[in-house]
Structure formats: C-alpha cells, structure tokens
Amino acid sequence: MARRRWPLIPSSEITPESVYLNRRQFMKGLALGAGALALAGCATPPEPTSTPTPAAATPVAQATAAPGLLPPPDAAPVASAQADELGDALTSHEAATTYNNFYEFGMGKDDPARNAKDFVTSPWTVQVGGLVGKPGTFGVEDLIRQFPPEERIYRLRCVEAWSMVIPWLGFPLAKLLQAVEPASDAKYVRFETLLDPQRMPGQRSGWYDWPYVEGLRLDEAMNDLAILSVGLYGKMLYPQNGAPIRLVAPWKYGFKSIKSIVKIDLVAEPPASLWMKAAPNEYGFYANVNPDVPHPRWSQATERRIGEGGRRETLPFNGYAEQVAGLYAGMDLQANY
C-alpha cells in the first residue's frame, strides 16, 4: 500500500493522467500489453519509447489550494507515484472520473459524470452518532482541517469484474470514530448517503430502496486501510466520485465504498445495505473481494483492469490479505460473502 502526506510532491512533471492507455489507444493497447504502460502525453498519442522527464519538486497541489483545503476537482491531476505497491499503473484520471457506478445519478457508467455536473457539495455536513460518547455534526472542511488528508493508492475492484488503481486523498476512518468515542456496545458502523431525489435524479427510480446504506463491522472500520476520502489525483472529489466525502475500503467490492455520506451511526446490529435488500442472494454484508465466491453474473475469479486488454486474476481481499485477513480468522467466507 502506497501512502503519502498531502500536499503532494509529484515525482515528475507529467501528470499521471498520461500513464494510461487511453481508450483511443485501445486497439493499440491490446497489442502492447500491460508492460508498456509508462507512456507519456495524453493529448498526443503516446510513444512507447518516451521516458518521464525529472521535474522540479513543486507542490503543485498546494499551489492552487485555498489554505487548509484541497484544490478544486478541475485542477490539474497529480499523484506521488505512477503505480501501486504491486507495480500496477494508476488508472487514468479520465477513466476514474467518467466511468462510474453511482446510481443516484443514473445507471449508465457515463451517467454520473453527466448528471452530477451541477451537484453542489458545499456546504456539507456529516452527522456522526448512535452508540457514541460524543456525537457531533462535522462540516467536511473542518474534517479536512482536523484530519489532514494523505494519499493512498488503492486498487478498486467492482463486483462487475472491472478494476482500477486510484490515488485517493483521505484520512483513516478510525480517526473520526475515535474522536466520537464508540460505546462498548457499538459493534457496527452504518453509513448513509444523502437522500434528495431533487438533486439526485436516480433516486426517483423505484428499483432500489433509497437512501443508499452501507455498513462495516467496527473492527473493519477501525482497520487502517479504511479511509474517508475527500479527493483523488491530488484534488477534491468530483461529484461522480462521491463528493464531498466517501468511504474507501479497498479489500471489499466497490459498492461497499459508499459515496456522498451524510450520516454515520455506530450500532449494535449489522445494518442491511441497499444491495443486501435488493438481492440478498447476490450481495452479503461483508462483500470482501473473494475469487472463490462466485456471482451469478460477473466473474469474481478474474477481472478487467480498465486501460488493459484481456483479464487478470482477482486477488483474495483485492491484494490486501496481509492487512485484513486477520479480521476474518475462523470465519466461513463462503457463507459470509
């Protein structure tokens, strides 16, 4: 797992946006293969031979930011590294911000980027309560000041068998939970997305039981991998990525990482998520990435990495077994999917 403090010191002047096989190079990419991903230039077709030029170490992200805050979503994308700890290249900024599942803004992959364009995410507060000693309502900007975001480069594995590598900015969820002092009978964390069919047109569809709800066991939530993300690629989140604040739990399928959170409650019983209610035989409470638990539609044994041709094998816990497998010691992961 790669992590850096924000503001970021970019390792080179080229934006990581260029590190990918852009879809226009898809046909070329099928021939090139994953090894040749360090390509330069995104507007111009990349040449496999070009090498990154070393750059002056300017904190690009800081330069455009308001004091204590992140640069706006449309600032230039930056990341401190071009690959995750396994050497897998970052997914392009373009793909990460235009190919999204966020049903509050429509069911097509390109719907969220289009329909969430004018979604206003400031001011925004998160109400934290339930079985806690110090409940409170926190403005997102105050959270960012209180818990300075750090960069985490994580793989994102969607249950639909596609995946990305994304440089998130965020802070450990544990920090916020500790600040509100969980009571001894708090065993689970329940998250809720904004419910506002006026601003989130997808919520007018009757296919799902809105609002979006997700949950973690408290020890999962306390694991250092679980973050509340407020940005990606060195700047604030776009609405389609779950602005202004979202969960990222990289060892679980993407749908667990709930977006645009307004409410976090500590509770005694496992909360029923939107997907568990919609299709209990397909989606369980844990939803850990597990190549051995099949899904009726999508492969869980293999996945398509966006930007690559073909398929790669899916790793148990999405490659984070070392950090999280202990949470599930002795549990039957076939039954607890």
Partner 1 sequence: MRKISPLQLLVHVAALIPLAWLIFDAATGGLSVNPIQDIEQRTGKYALVLLVLSLSCTPVNILTGWAPVLRWRRPLGLYAFGYAALHFLAFLGLDYAFNLRFIWADVANKRFIFVGLAALLILIPLALTSTRGWQKRLGKMWRALHRWVYLAGGLVVVHYVWAVKSDIREPLLWGAAIGAGLLIRTPPVRRWILAQRARRLTAKQRGAEASRSA
Which residues are within 8 A (CB) of 52 and not within 5 positions of it... i.e. 6 or more apart?
12, 13, 14, 38, 40, 82
Q: Report the SS3 class of residue 211.
A: coil
Least Cβ distance, residue 289 to partner 1 (angstroms): 15
- Whose Cβ is closer to partner 1: residue 51's or residue 302's? 302
β-bridge pairing 188-193 and 213-217? antiparallel
Show the tokens assigned to 307. Answer: 């930007």
Region near partner 1 per CB under 8 A, out of 68-76, 168-176, 184-192, 289-297: 289-297
Region near partner 1 per CB under 8 A, out of 24-32, 74-82, 213-221, 261-269: 24-32
- Whose Cβ is closer to partner 1: residue 11's or residue 98's? 98
Instruction: Build a one-symbol-per-residue string for 155-174: x at contacts with partner 1 by CB under 8 A, - elsewhere.
Output: -------x------------
The residue type at 97: T
Q: What are phi and psi of 140, to 5 degrees?
A: -60, -40
Contact 5, 75 (CB under 8 A): no
Residue 272 is a binding residue for partner 1 (CB under 8 A): no
The helix or strand, by DSSP H or E, that contains position 126, with its residue range, turns out to be: strand 125-130
- Whose Cβ is closer to partner 1: residue 30's or residue 183's? 30
Binding residues for partner 1, total number by CB under 8 A: 32
Q: What are phi and psi of 29, to 5 degrees?
A: -60, -35
- Whose Cβ is closer to partner 1: residue 301's or residue 327's? 301
Residue 41 is a binding residue for partner 1 (CB under 8 A): no
Give the number of other Cβ atoms within 10 Å of residue 321's Cβ: 15
Among 36, 139, 304, 323, the residue binding partner 1 under the rule CB under 8 A is 304
Residue 107 is a binding residue for partner 1 (CB under 8 A): yes
Give me the DSSP letters along 265-326. EEESSPPPPHHHHH-TTT--SS-B--TTS--SSS-SSEEEETTSSS-EEPPGGGGTHHHHGG
How many Cα atoms within 13 Å fall on the side-chain side of residue 322? 2
- Distance, CA of 58 to CA of 120 (rounded, Å): 30
Instruction: Build a one-symbol-per-residue string for 178-207: x at contacts with partner 1 by CB under 8 A, - elsewhere.
Output: -----------------------------x
Residue 33 is a binding residue for partner 1 (CB under 8 A): no
- Distance, CA of 218 to CA of 174 (rounded, Å): 9
Region near partner 1 per CB under 8 A, out of 6-14, 36-44, 166-174, 291-299: 291-299
Among 19, 75, 99, 172, the residue binding partner 1 under the rule CB under 8 A is 99
Least Cβ distance, residue 109 to partner 1 (angstroms): 6
Give contact residues for partner 1 (rule: CB under 8 A). Answer: 22-24, 26-27, 30, 92, 94-95, 98-99, 107, 109-110, 162, 207-208, 278-279, 294, 296-297, 299, 301-302, 304, 306-307, 309-311, 313
